[in-house]
Amino acid sequence: MTITLAELRVQARRRSDMESSQFVTDGELTSYINNSIAELHDVLSDAYGSEYFVTVTSSQTITNGIDRYDLPTDFYELKGVDLKLTNQEWTNVKRFNFNERNRFANSSAWEVTGTSNIRYRIVGGQIIFSPTPDVDAEYRLWYTPLPTVLQNDSDELQDFNAYSEYVVVDVAIKMLQKEESDVSVLMAQKKALEKRIRDKSQNRDAAGSDTISDIYAEADDYFFRRGV
C-alpha cells in the first residue's frame, strides 16, 4: 500500500484543522512531511530495519591494488558485507577496529586455503578494505537506504500497516507549533503511535524466530588469524 504526497498534505491539514488556511504553505508542508518521513524511517530502522528497508547491491568488482570504493548514492546504514573469489561461495566480511587498521596491511589478502584475510571499514562516503586486495574479486553490500524524499504530488510513500499516520500526526504538530497552538493531544497520539510501531515492527516475520549465532566459530576464527 502507498500514499501520495498530495494525500499526506490533505491529511495533515485536516488533522491540524488548517484545511482552508495557507498559514503553512504547500512548500513548507512538503518540507515538514519529508522531515517526518525521515523520522519514521529511523524509528523503523532502529526497531528492525533489516525487515523493512534493507537492500543489497549487485556484485561489485574489487580490483587488484585498489583498497577503497564509493558507497551507493542512497547509502544510509550498513547491514553487512559479502565477498567471494571467482567460482566460490559468498562469505561474510568482518569490520576491522580502527586501532587495528594496520594489522593486516602487509599480509596477503587470501590464505593458502582460499579464505579471505580482508576486513572492511566505512570511512566517509567510501568502504575501505584491508589489506589491499592483491587479486580481483567481487563484493556486495547489504544496507539500509536513505528515506524516500517526496517532491511531486504523485510521489508515493510505502505505507506499512498505515504507519503513515505517524507522519501525519508529526506534521500536524509542526504546523500547530508554528501557529503557537496547543499540541499536547497530538504529542500523546504520536507517542502512542511510536510505541505501536516499535512493539509490532519487530514481529513482521512471525513464521519463526532467529537462531543463536555461532559465536564460538567466530572466536576460533579470530584467534586463528591472530596466530594465538
Stated pTM of the model: 0.79
Angle between helices 184-201 and 164-178 (to 10 degrees): 160
pLDDT tens-digit series, residues 96-152: 888 776 666 666 555 544 456 788 999 999 999 988 888 888 999 999 999 999 999
| Spacing of C-alpha 166 from chain mean position | 19
The 68-70 sheet, strands edge to edge: 68-70, 126-130, 119-123
pLDDT at 113: 43
Burial grade of 169 (CB within 10 A; 0-12, 13-18, 19 or more): buried
Position 216 pLDDT exceeds 60 = no
Burial grade of 33 (CB within 10 A; 0-12, 13-18, 19 or more): buried
Listed range (149-163, 191-205, 209-223) with the worst mean pLDDT: 209-223
